Amino acid sequence: MDKIKIIGGNRLNGQIYISGAKNAALPLICASLLTDETVTLTNMPMLSDIRSMNALLEQMGTQIDSFDDFVDGHATKTYSYRTQKFSSLIAPYDYVRKMRASYYVLGPVLAREAHVELSLPGGCAIGARPMDIHLSSLEQMGATIEIKNGYVHADIKGRLKGAHITFHTASVGATCNILMAATLAEGETVIENAAKEPEIGDLIDLLTAMGAKIEGRDSSKLTIQGVDKLHGAQHKVIADRIEAGSYAIAAAITNGRLELINAQASTLRTPIEILRAMGVSVEEGKDSLLIDAKGKTLTGQDIMTDYYPGFPTDLQAQFMALMTVSEGASLVTENIWENRFMHVPELMRMGANINVHGHASAIVRGVKRLSGAPVMATDLRASFALVLAGLAAEGETVVNRVYHLDRGYEKLDEKLRAVGADIERIKEAD
């Protein structure tokens, strides 16, 4: 498995292009399963999760073509998807275990083909993430659900039926899945307490372009009028707000100055407020952010994760890394996932002063300097937190198990090296 070696202490300076959003791209890919016509997605990130999803769809019969492309002078990918006929209605374990987001095939395939079998998904080990909301909602729409031998078996007679569904929690995954299923259901579907993340808005935009009838974008109540058929469309994937936030923190933790091209300030309101409160200068452009921490003394701030537009759980670990070298004490409260402090022991190996209280909160007291050390990545966002700590630390840090990073950060070492980081990817034989 590859490693990343970092010699800390370099101030970052320059421009970083923010890639298309992984968390938007994955449900967009699955939305292509709702039609037998071609769906083309531009500004696609080049990530292992995208390759995993593509492999799953190809196994089910989707024809996929990829093209090298450029957005604002930056290399990216365009993919076209066409599923004229399914060769399989099974999402097998060997594919699904690599990536939890594989469950996005559930709603579209069931809605179009009246049957689907899905291996119970894998992904990051950040706590229990049950599929109960997905399954109970599909049952309300007339599906028969059975779980046996590690697989979800879902069937319907005829078409899914519109229903009035209230989520007990604002699940992003369930919102995407039921939204896609409802586009081909008979009658009207209402989703109450729907998640409002920008990635869901991006999915709604694609589905609308495909002929879906959806009201309530950016609200907690979505109303979908089912249609008989959807058609092909072309769509540009939105910028990755989590990648943008991660690199903004990289500028802050190195007392550097980075311009983030293609970053959307409107999707990062709460993290931007926290950065400013810490003492970081954040200048908002039309499609950019200028993060300037040169000569700044940063002070710790309390953060509490919440559903969008609250503070994103996917930036909690990265902000905690920043708090470890900020003056004073910070309280970090995790309200989304119960096991998302696995990066704490690794940060403490580097000299961080962190006290975890239960499963939901941690007090971080800033230290003058972290020390480089060998550390182990535990999940995607924790991996980047360790990279951040390595950038700020004195000496050498080696981050192991970087396959986590490959799932969500495109060309991370190249992007950081281009703005002054002393970072190297060490290839190792499997």
Residues carrying an active site annotation:
124
Q: Tokens representing 369?
A: 């300097």
First vs last Cα of the chain: how many Å apart?
Answer: 6
99-114 burial code (b ≥16 CB/10 A, e <16): bbbbbbbbbbbbbbeb
350-354 CB contacts, 8 Å cutoff, 24+ apart? 350/375, 350/389, 350/390, 350/393, 350/397, 351/393, 352/324, 352/389, 353/324, 354/320, 354/324
Q: Cα dist. 204→116, 272, 311, 373, 423 in Å?
A: 23, 26, 23, 44, 39
Alpha-carbon span 187 to 208, nearest angstrom:
17
DSSP output for 83-136: -SS-S--EE-HHHHTT-GGGGGGHHHHHHHHSEEEEEPP----SS----HHHHH
